[in-house]
Amino acid sequence: MKKECLFLDVFTDKPYSGNQLAVFPDATGLTSEQMQKLANEINYSETTFILASKDASADFEMRIFSVQLELPFAGHPTLGTAYAIMNLLDIWQKKSDKLRLKTKVGIIPLAKEDDNIWMQQNEPEFFKQYKNKKEIADLVNLLPEDISEKYPVEEVSTGNKMLIIPIKNLAAIKRANGNMNNIKAFQPKDSPVGPYLFTLETVNPSAKIHTRFFAPHIGVIEDAATGSAAGPLTGYLLKHKIFGKSFLIENEQGIEMNRPSKILLQGEIKENKYIVKIGGKAVYVGKAEFEI
């Protein structure tokens, strides 16, 4: 059995930047074990597999695998897969600017507006806040004084639980790196959590926020663009009114990896509900065929 795979760069409009993604347009006949082996072979942070949806309220089903395990949801794979379906593949008879992808956390609505693909994520859930700065700093090999005192360290989820960590400045966030042993030991028993660092100092004048994400506990040393963390961050920014109750801003990530990414964050609190949308571009870089 042969299966075609497309290679994309996501959250960028320039090839060989942004976050890499492998997309299998037709995963029919593949077992979970085969999908995991393919994801491990390709060795990108995530690989997606498209299947016909058995749910009438979704256009396609999508499964997402890191190099080590299947993920319930991930941002750049969802956006990149939507881009492939809307712009590159001939598998969707409807061909619309609105697409519904079924994931393990539910149906994710996506829309194409100009050159950007937008996804609306689940309403954020807010969990534990952490006061022990040394414990948090040790996760990313920083000092306690590198963590900002203006905002809390807080667990937030819009599908995947993330640990949002405010960092004082650009110089400090650039020194960070993921400590696998400390991150593994820190993991709550009920669900894994990834540290997402942000600072309000940026490299590019167009950006309002600079971020980094480390997940060595699931085989991702550092991620170039993390849409599933950008959603919780958007909820966090709304809750703490860092940019007010309504905003549209650019988040820069991946700069330290030489894979600069642009993630658009759109947030609004309306009638006591959080509306979280993540947007960006993607580009095609190649394709391959795998013998299964």
Tell me the catalytic residues. Answer: 46
CA distances for 117 relative to 26, 182, 282, 286, 288, angstroms: 21, 36, 8, 20, 24
Q: For residue 116, what are its two tokens?
A: 């950007």
Distance CA 157, CA 191 (A): 11
Angle ∠(193,99,66) on CA atoms, nearest 5: 30
Q: How far, in Å, CA of 160 to CA of 220, rounded?
A: 15
> Six-digit token pair at 33?
């074990």
Nearest alpha carbon to residue 141 among 224, 216, 43: 216
